[in-house]
Amino acid sequence: MRAVVCRSYGPPENLVLDDVPEPVPAPGQILVRVHTAAVNFPDVLFIEGKYQIKIPPPFIPGNEIAGEVIAAGEGAAISPGQRVAGTTFGAFAEQALLDASQAMLIPDDADFASAAAFGVTYRTAYYALRSTAAVAEGDWVVVLGAAGGVGLAAVDLAVAMKARVLAAASSPEKLELCRRRGAEATVDYDREDLKTRIRELTGDSARVVLDPVGGQYSEPALRGLARGGMFVTLGYAAGTIPTIPLNLVLLKDLYVRGMEIRTFASDYPDEAVRDDAELARLFAGGTVRPYIGARFPLSETAAALRHVAERKVLGKVVIDVA
């Protein structure tokens, strides 16, 4: 089968499209013919050897797929022919293995691209909103990088939770997309004073900031929070890990928390089960569907990763495999 292979750490352009052996499902696993794979910012970090966990090369990058089951290992409760989505290692390939217990059956009215693009970013956003920040109806939620994968998922889900959303992004095009997805207010943080505008637009009542970007935007967003508000750090797509003056936390009685999807389920198993079930119902009922901003063939996976790395993406980028 064809697969994109990372033979050594480096930029997306170092990836190669190669023929590799077809995987064989172990007990409890299913083999999926991949129709669509989704791209996430950590994929860029994995191939550069900069993620918290390092996978020794050579390896097939990517961890989010949707497709059709073509074989099932012993004990797997999913049959060949069923449409499934899930997360795994080795997504950028014509076939991939999934743990059957973690696979999601795709509703009849959802396409492969939506299913592939849903898992990682929407779980990240929902865990942060539902469990970490305990967002309630009517709360002002500020989302940084609001037109990106995690950011737009957070906008969608906060709107579904009946929160009030202030979307912050870096261009009029991105902000227009956020407004179309339900954001009540927007800030162009490359052209406006973020702290001041958060206070003005929310009436100085911003209760939560979700930050998957980091860099220069984090501190002014923290300063824009209302007294007793919560700042949730989710990642550093800007490339710089910010430092926060702790006196700001003290003077305004703020909460600063982190949420990492890789460890959330082991740290908070009950909340993860609840959140996953609620999120699955939102997807199955059509309440939320990812916005697909760009599509690439498998042969152009490097271009897809470069698109994400340079923060050009609106919503999610997917790779059409089959």
Task: Please give the structure tokens belonging to residue 106.
Answer: 């795709």
| Annotated domain spans of the chain | 2-110+290-320, 120-264
Residue the block writes with tokens 């996430």: 40
Predicted confidence (pLDDT) per residue in 215-266, tens digit = 999 999 999 999 999 999 999 888 889 998 999 999 999 999 999 998 999 9
pLDDT at 313: 82
Which CATH number fits the domain 2-110+290-320, given the four candidates 3.40.50.170, 3.90.180.10, 3.40.630.30, 3.40.605.10? 3.90.180.10
Would you state the pLDDT for residue 52?
80
- CB contact set of 159 (below 8 Å; sequence gap of 6+): 165, 181, 182, 183
DSSP labels, 34-68: EEEEEE-HHHHHHHHT-SSS-PPSSB----EEEEE
User: In this structure, how many other beta carbons lie within 10 angstroms of the beta carbon of residue 243?
Assistant: 8
Per-residue pLDDT at 92: 98
- pLDDT < 50 positions in the chain: none
Residues 6 or more apart from 289 whose CB is under 8 A from it? 110, 114, 118, 283
pLDDT at site 322: 84
Same fold, 2-110+290-320 and 120-264: no
Q: Is residue 115 within 8 Å of 94, Cβ to Cβ?
A: no
pLDDT of residue 277: 94
**Helical axes 172-180 vs 149-160, angle rounded to 10°:** 30
**Residue 94 confidence (pLDDT):** 98
Record: fold of 120-264 = Rossmann fold (3.40.50)
Give the pTM.
0.91
The values of phi and psi at residue 280, to 5°, are: -60, -40
Mean pLDDT of the chain: 95
Contact 318/196 with Cβ under 8 angstroms? no
